[in-house]
């Protein structure tokens, strides 16, 4: 009870909550079975598609599997975060 | 035709062997014919936990290789009617047996016994593959620790990939007082993460160490909390709907008073 009250007030989190959150994150990776090779493949495909529309800095492209708060705000969901620096947008991609 | 149940966990030291010993004994106490099979070749322990270490002549590898007949390798537990042990070989390794041989062994044992309880070694390599090869269903053991739950999750994935559907879960060594303080994951937390059916909760109980010291499974000790938990699990395996034990009752005075007034923090 007290523990729940404290955590609601945003004070020190109980160690079991820390454990649960860490577990959830590690299991996202375990279950997805994401190897560096897998991420490289995804990266390659994304570059291929985007290249049709814009010029990007392929060297600086960063893609990773991470967690984010779910829409409902009651938990953590896996998310694929890609940071793709754009150099220029190709003509074909511009609106007329 | 009996049923083959594999007891597995991934992580070592969470209580697979203790659980196998107690479930096998529990089943025999309920008049079922059960055989315990130790598949931890090279690191056998089910024999000592059962107190049958001095009775071993032949082992699982002998039976599989045909050095002896299967019946010769089975050790009859004289204390419990209908309970047998098939010990692992100690001087061989996991590659001494193949999954195909295990399937055949399980088929033969199913003819004779109501339940074949397989004690799986830790890990996900050959020993694990052998242990699950002939299994009809699986019981996954975990403790409320991140490492054990993580490994349990991996094992659940591997079981399902090997067509052993709907494994059930035993959470072992639960310390209610720590759960109450928020310093141990609760059963609900673990179920939330693993999303499989719970078949039992075993409290952390000193009696387990004492009973293992003596080679007498706790399930036969009426005073042991863990023994009661195993008796309940045994009945659930037989299809009975047994309510889960209220571990809160075993807490300190304050916990009891809180419970009295309907406060339940965990």
Q: What is the pLDDT of residues A10-59, one digit of tens each?
A: 557 899 999 999 998 888 878 876 677 878 888 888 888 988 888 888 88
The DSSP 8-state label assigned to residue B74 in this structure reads: P
Phi, psi of B174 (to 5 degrees): -80, 130
Chain B residues touching residue A8 (CB < 8 angstroms):
none
Query: Which residue of chain B has the CA closest to A2?
Result: B265
Closest residue by Cα to residue B118 from B92, B148, B87, B91: B87
What is the total count of domains within chain B? Answer: 1
Task: Flag whether B72 is in a domain.
Answer: yes
How far is CA B93 from its chain centroid?
22
Chain A residues touching residue B154 (CB < 8 angstroms):
30
Q: What is the pLDDT of residues A50-89, one digit of tens each?
A: 888 888 888 888 887 776 766 776 566 677 888 889 888 8
* For residues B42-47, average pLDDT: 97
- Extract long-range pairs of A28-34: CB within 8 Å, 24+ residues apart: A28/A65, A28/A67, A28/A76, A28/A78, A29/A65, A30/B150, A30/B153, A30/B154, A31/B153, A31/B157, A32/A65, A32/A78, A34/A65
Q: What is the pLDDT of residues B166-215, one digit of tens each?
A: 999 999 999 999 999 999 999 999 999 999 999 999 999 999 999 999 99
pLDDT band at B264 (very low <50, low <70, confident <90, very high): very low
| DSSP string for A9-25 | TT-SPPHHHHHHHHHHH
Task: Flag whether B265 is in a domain.
Answer: no
Interface test with B, best of A27, A29, A67, A76 (most B CBs within 10 A): A27
Helices (H), A10-75: 15-32, 36-51
Task: Flag whether B266 is in a domain.
Answer: no
Distance from CA of B204 to the nearest CA of A (A): 17
pLDDT for the residue A80 = 82
Contact at 8 Å (CB) between B22 and B230?
yes
Q: Work out the number of other CB atoms within 10 angstroms of the CB of residue B80.
A: 19
Tell me which residue in A2, A3, A20 faces B185 most closely, judged by beta carbons.
A20
CA distance linking residue B229 with residue B156, whole number of Å: 23
Q: Work out the number of other CB atoms within 10 angstroms of the CB of residue A35.
A: 9
Indicate which CATH number applies to the domain containing B154: 3.40.50.300
User: A62 is written with which tokens?
Assistant: 């960063």
Query: Which residue of chain A has the CA closest to B184?
Result: A16
Full residue range of the structural domain in which residue B154 is found: 3-260
Residues 6+ apart with CB under 8 A from B110: B1, B2, B3, B4, B116
């Amino acid at each position: 009870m007290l523990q729940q009250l404290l955590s609601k007030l945003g004070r020190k989190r109980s160690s079991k909550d820390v454990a649960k959150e860490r577990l959830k994150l590690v299991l996202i990776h375990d279950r997805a079975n994401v190897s560096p090779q897998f991420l490289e493949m995804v990266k390659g495909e994304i570059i291929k598609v985007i290249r049709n529309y814009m010029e990007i800095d392929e060297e600086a492209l960063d893609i990773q599997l991470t967690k984010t708060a779910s829409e409902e705000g009651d938990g953590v969901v896996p998310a694929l975060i890609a940071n793709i620096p754009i150099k220029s947008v190709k003509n074909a991609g511009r609106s007329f | 035709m009996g049923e083959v149940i594999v007891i597995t966990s991934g992580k070592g030291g969470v209580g697979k062997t203790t659980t196998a010993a107690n479930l096998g004994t529990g089943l025999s106490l309920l008049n079922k014919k059960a055989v315990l099979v130790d598949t931890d070749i090279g690191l056998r322990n089910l024999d000592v936990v059962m107190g049958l270490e001095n009775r071993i002549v032949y082992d699982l590898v002998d039976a599989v290789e045909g050095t002896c007949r299967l019946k010769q390798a089975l050790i009859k537990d004289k204390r419990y009617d209908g309970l047998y042990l098939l010990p692992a070989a100690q001087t061989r390794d996991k590659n001494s047996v193949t999954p195909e041989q295990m399937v055949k062994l399980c088929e033969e044992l199913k003819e004779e016994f109501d339940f074949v309880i397989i004690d799986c070694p830790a890990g996900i390599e050959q020993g694990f593959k052998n242990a699950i090869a002939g299994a009809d269903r699986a019981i996954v053991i975990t403790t409320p620790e991140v490492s054990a739950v993580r490994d349990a999750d991996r094992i659940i994935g591997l079981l399902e990939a090997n067509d052993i559907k709907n494994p059930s879960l035993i959470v072992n060594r639960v310390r209610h007082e720590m759960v109450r303080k928020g310093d141990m994951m609760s059963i609900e937390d673990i179920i939330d993460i693993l999303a499989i059916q719970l078949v039992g909760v075993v409290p952390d109980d000193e009696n387990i160490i004492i009973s293992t010291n003596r080679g007498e499974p706790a399930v036969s000790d009426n005073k042991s909390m863990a023994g009661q938990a195993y008796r309940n699990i045994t009945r659930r395996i037989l299809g009975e709907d047994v309510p889960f034990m209220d571990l809160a009752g075993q807490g300190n005075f304050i916990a009891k008073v809180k419970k009295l007034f309907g406060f339940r923090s965990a």
